[in-house]
Amino acid sequence: MSDLIIVESPTKIKTLKRYLSDDYEVIASRGHLRDLPKSKLGVDIDNGFEPHYINIKDKEAIIKDIKKKAKKCDHVYLAGDPDREGEAISWHLAQILGLDLNDKNRVTFKELTASGIEAGMKEPRQIDMNLVDAQQARRVLDRIVGYKLSPFLWRKIRRGLSAGRVQSVAVKMICDREEEIRRFQSAEYWSIDAKFLPKGAKKPFSAKLSSIDGVKPELGSKEETDKILARLDGAEFTVTNVKKSVHRKSPAAPFTTSTLQQEASKRLSFQARRTMKVAQELYEGVEIKDMGPVGLITYMRTDSQRVSDEARAQAYDFIKEKYGDDYIPKTPNKYKVKGNAQDGHEAIRPSHPELTPDMVKASGVTSDQYKLYKLIWERFIASQMSKCAMNTISVDIESNGCIFKASGFSVRFDGFTVLYEETRDDDGEPKNDLTAVNKDDRLTPKELAGNQHFTQPPPRYTEASLVKAFEETGIGRPSTYVPTITTILARNYVERDGRQLKPTSLGEVTNQLMSEHFQKIVDVKFTANMESDLDKVEGGEMAWTDTLKEFYGGFAEELEKAESAMEGKRVKVPDEQTDEVCEKCGKPMVIKIGRFGKFMACSGFPDCDNTKPIVHDTGGKCPYCGKKVLLKKSKKGKQYYGCEDNPNCRFMTWDVPLEDKCPKCGSTLFRKGGKNGKLVCHKEACGYEKDLSEANE
């Protein structure tokens, strides 16, 4: 007889077995085993919102195996992930196995290390019904919204659509931003910029016109700018003020789920889904040379920036050995905690700070695993290091009532920047060297020019900035960011334009209908308040059924009014016009949005039913037959590249075709493995390839 531990993911099994004795058997539920039925609402609204759970059909074999093994064991431990979802999975397992909810059979592992697993097994507890109820409340809320609203959208727009509490708000945010961009009217403005070369300096420094006769300049035309330039023509420039100070720059906090997704997007060009997939792998355990399977990071769904004393001490040990005592702060760095942050977990950090990225890389982890681990490791170690000290200088230069300002800095002590600096959204100010500038110096401009600018519209959301907006507005939680973005893309409400997210015509029509008839569902504040209520349920401050009661009354009323107002009406999704002509009837082709995304269709439908997929010419030539290489999409929406003569020519690849030609045979070159990958030639018998790092030198 042995004890049985049930985890969610089979990947964890090897990692756990490495640290546990043979007295334990470990199996995986592979996620949820029970859920609400797909064929009906599954919630008794009139009877306290009682959910009707059923076993998931394709999980019957797993359930049978778990029951069989549980019968043979002395004790069952429920080891779902340490969050609401994991608690709910554990509760469902207890229901399936008939376990006593008063028993202490729930264990959690905040990190899959020897100490983390030992700590978890030493402190089994009862299932936390507050966590379970918070998950149930979210699940039931989302089911009610989805199953009540979706049929309405089917009848009024088209079949197959869906609505959701958070996804509908996300679509509205993206649509609102698009509308801001459309309404934006660009305005012309001018700046006057100068370059001065102080006596004894090797490089000139940059300065900007800051005031004219004590007033901030507002130059709206070339004529106005030229007047000021004429006023300064041949004038003498004098340094009237030099201010020196020491600025101390603090390191960025260790990662939360949100900041990890944002930084991985900016620095690694990872989509949020890719980031979380790799983070899950690092948490659950990867093979490390001479160590076996090791959980490399702490739990990756968290909005806490807290770090344990043990982890901080381990970081200090590494910093002291690598950089010296000066790089350890006199008092531990503290980071501001957001008001709605849950402190159940630590920040995302390496489980073994002594395992450097190079050591992990040498163990043969995947490229993505190495890149993300390196990012997490460097961010954490840097967060525990001393501040960077900078000598800053700002100077005022006056001429004929016009004042120019310049600023610069030099590093006094590099501190944490020796290892890591957070990616900035802007390029920052020019790095001026002002050490040779003194008060009362007379300067002659090496360059003095007026520069034309135009105000820019707000940028479209990227995945990174949308996740940041989710966090700032309080809609969603770390576990919902990726599913929300994935859903609105899969439903074709939103599409990618490079790294930007923009609404489709379907998304805009659906959002307009939702905004007119379901204002609360798409209201950011209302959704944020709902998230706060779910947090109260988790904290035991509110009954989960009360949350549902507060929501449902207003929602049911809105739905009834919408049904009445829209009776007999239907909304058409506008087609996108194209320059292509239907080869069957000669009418223009239009772009429509179907179940699997966009496609081309004849505008003469139903008289002409010609349709075809949308393809984009990449400019590359097929290495097999010399015809065009087109960008295509699989049925699941994944992009790939293939010959236009398919199926006669079977060439296809995930590698990106480039304008560059193979120096060996002249065929199109392809980029394999991202920006840090290789240039490859797919011409048979050629074999040319070159690392991109070498190609860029």
Distance of CA 488 to the CA centre of its chain: 14
Query: Could you tell me which of 511, 505, 464, 538 has the C-alpha nearest to residue 167?
Result: 511
Percentages helix, strand, coil for the chain, rounded to the nearest 5?
35, 25, 40
Alpha-carbon gap, residue 630 to 521, rounded angstroms: 41
Strand ranges of the sheet holding 24-28, from the earlier edge strand across to the other edge:
24-28, 3-7, 75-79
Helix (H, G, I), strand (E, B) or coil at 286: strand
d(CA 275, CA 513): 33
Reported as type and span, the H/E element at residue 214 is none
Q: Is 299 among the residues known to form the active site?
A: yes
Q: How far from each other are the two terminal CA atoms of the chain, in whole angstroms? A: 63
**What phi, psi does 92 have (nearest 5°)?**
-60, -40
| DSSP 8-state secondary structure symbol assigned to residue 523 | -
Q: CA-based Rg of the chain, rounded to a whole angstrom?
A: 30
Is residue 198 reached through a cis peptide bond, with omega within 30 degrees of 0 on the bond before it? no
417 contacts: CB under 8 Å, gap ≥ 6: 249, 382, 388, 411
Give the closest residue to 76 by CA, choosing from 64, 88, 68. 68
Q: What is the CB-side half-sphere exposure of residue 161 using CA atoms within 13 A?
A: 26
Pick from 522, 578, 521: which is nearest to 552 by CA?
521
Largest CA distance in the chain: 95
Displacement of CA 376 from its chain's centroid (Å): 15
CA distance 101 to 92: 11
Tokens of 327: 């790089």
* Backbone φ, ψ for residue 189 (5° rounding): -150, 160
**Among 19, 77, 283, 299, the one annotated catalytic:** 299
For residue 117, the SS3 value is helix
Residue 171 amino acid letter:
V
| Residue type at 249 in one-letter notation | K
Report the alpha-carbon distance of residue 690 to residue 684 in Å, rounded.
16
Contact 43, 144 (CB under 8 A): yes
Phi, psi of 615 (to 5 degrees): -125, 150
Q: What distance in Å separates the CA atoms of residue 629 and residue 621, rounded to the nearest whole number?
A: 5
Nearest of 273, 275, 285, 269 to residue 255 by alpha carbon: 275
- Answer whether 83's CB lies under 8 Å from 8's CB: no
The rounded distance, in Å, linking the Cα atoms of 649 and 644 is 8
Question: Quick one: how many helices (H) and strands (E) in the chain?
Answer: 18, 30
Cis peptide before 647 (omega within 30 of 0): yes
* DSSP string for 546-568: HHHHHHHHHHHHHHHHHHHHTTT
* Residues tagged active-site: 299
